[in-house]
Amino acid sequence: MKIKPLVTGIALSLSASTLAFNVMAADDTIKVGVLHSLSGTMAISETTLKDTMLMLIDEQNKKGGVLGKKLEAVVVDPASNWPLFAEKARELIAKDKVAAVFGGWTSVSRKSVLPVFEELNSILFYPVQYEGEESSKNVFYTGAAPNQQAVPAVDYLMKDLGVQRWVLAGTDYVYPRTTNKILEAYLKAKGVAAEDIMINYTPFGHSDWQSIVSDIKKFGSAGKKTAVVSTINGDANVPFYKELGNQGISAEDIPVVAFSVGEEELSGIDTAPLVGHLAAWNYFMSVEDDANDTFIEAWHKFIGNEERVTNDPMEAHYIGFNMWIEAINKAGTTDPEAVQQAMIGVTVPNLSGGYATMMPNHHITKPVLIGEIQDDGQFETVWQTSGTVAGDAWSDYLEGSRDLMADWQAPLTCGNYNVKTGKCSGQNY
């Protein structure tokens, strides 16, 4: 009669032991949040970044992890749904207890999650070019600010190609609108007349480009060299470039320089109509450097497909992840406050033969490259900076921004410091 209670007691004891073991096992890993759209309009760009993070985490674990613990990826799919980004971010931080999150592509997704990271005091590594006008102590911006991509691209078109008329074409959300606001002010400061600037926005996933491309063609027939500066995002790029080809617009006629079209977006589509068009990034797969060769080889081995390409946001994750590991080792902890301070000044190799440094404004130093699309979907670098450029959080060309600076080091510790008034107008941004 006593055997049954004894077995129950043993079962309870085993259950408790198992629970304790599971808690101990959980304590032996450092969880890393991966917040990228695996479905919806942005999946074409973001799925690869999820795979990149899994590769980086796997490689780090093979090196022994960090602080004696292995890293554990926690992957969620916000499905190109901006409010869902905030929900998934909260889940990663509050429920899954991740030490940091790597993710986002569009600025609207970043804006959606930003209040969550600040409220819960976690860390986000954001790997894509963006419009600037922001600096948060909880975000490390490893993609390009406008002065590291958009402005140098316009300078190249103006000085090297003699462009006089400008089409600013973008997807209708915060990144294209703010970037084009900066570029419009910059162009006018350079003496470009208002009638020589055409601005157009389309929704995410836009597919019917016939009338818009026709308008671009007409705008470019005024006898002045015309170019398109494209902040079109996601899968809308495929029909846009196809329509350019359909209407006979070549790169010689009206060159397009894109800020959101890289190797991943070009893979799997007919690139014939795109040859000669341009993109501005801080990394191309075609860069000749030993570090890049090693990265590409590791990527192909991990993904099991030698046809898979690499691109700029992948390098941004590579840099951000390695900076995070360095900062953890420097701080001796994954505590967000300690890591935030330890991140400033961390320097790691990039993939083009140089180094990236995290600046006090939470932006990094990057080279700027202009690449010409080739028929194999790769880019040939036609222009690049002689060294790296430090990212500006606040634009020099916008009223109300040119007097602002960000510095997250004590004693300033402010992302929105007005150098004229000597005041910090916001805790974060």
Sign of CA dihedral 151, 153, 158, 163: negative
pTM of the complete model:
0.88
What is the residue type of 351?
Answer: L
Tell me the residue range of the domain where 118 lies.
23-145+292-366
374 and 358 in a common domain: no
205 and 94 in a common domain: no
Q: Does residue 17 sit within a domain?
A: no
**Is 87 in a helix, a strand, or coil?**
helix
Total domains in the fold of the chain? 2
Beta bridge partners of 102: 34, 125
154 and 139 in a common domain: no
Q: Does residue 422 sit within a domain?
A: no
Predicted confidence at residue 373, as pLDDT, reads 95
The answer to whether 347 and 330 have CB atoms below 8 angstroms apart is no
pLDDT digits (tens, 9 = 90+) for 398-413: 988 999 999 999 899 9
Predicted confidence at residue 273, as pLDDT, reads 78
pLDDT digits (tens, 9 = 90+) for 318-342: 999 999 999 999 999 999 999 999 9
Predicted confidence at residue 426, as pLDDT, reads 63
Rounded-to-10 torsion of CA 148, 39, 238, 164: -30
pLDDT digits (tens, 9 = 90+) for 220-241: 999 999 999 999 988 888 899 8
Q: Does residue 427 sit within a domain?
A: no
CB contact set of 415 (below 8 Å; sequence gap of 6+) = 134, 135, 136, 137, 361, 362, 393, 406, 408, 426, 428, 429
Predicted confidence at residue 323, as pLDDT, reads 98
* Distance in angstroms (rounded) separating the CA atoms of residues 404 and 417: 5
278 and 314 in a common domain: no
214 and 158 in a common domain: yes
CATH number at residue 101: 3.40.50.2300
Q: Does residue 420 sit within a domain?
A: no
Q: What is the mean pLDDT of each run of 10 residues along the chain (429 residues)?
A: 36 38 59 98 93 98 98 98 98 98 95 98 96 96 97 97 98 94 96 98 95 97 96 88 90 94 84 90 97 98 96 97 98 97 98 97 98 95 96 94 94 94 73
Smallest Cα–Cα separation from 139: which of 102, 84, 178?
A: 102
Q: Does residue 307 sit within a domain?
A: yes
Calculate helix-pair angle for 312-331, 290-303, nearest 10 degrees.
100
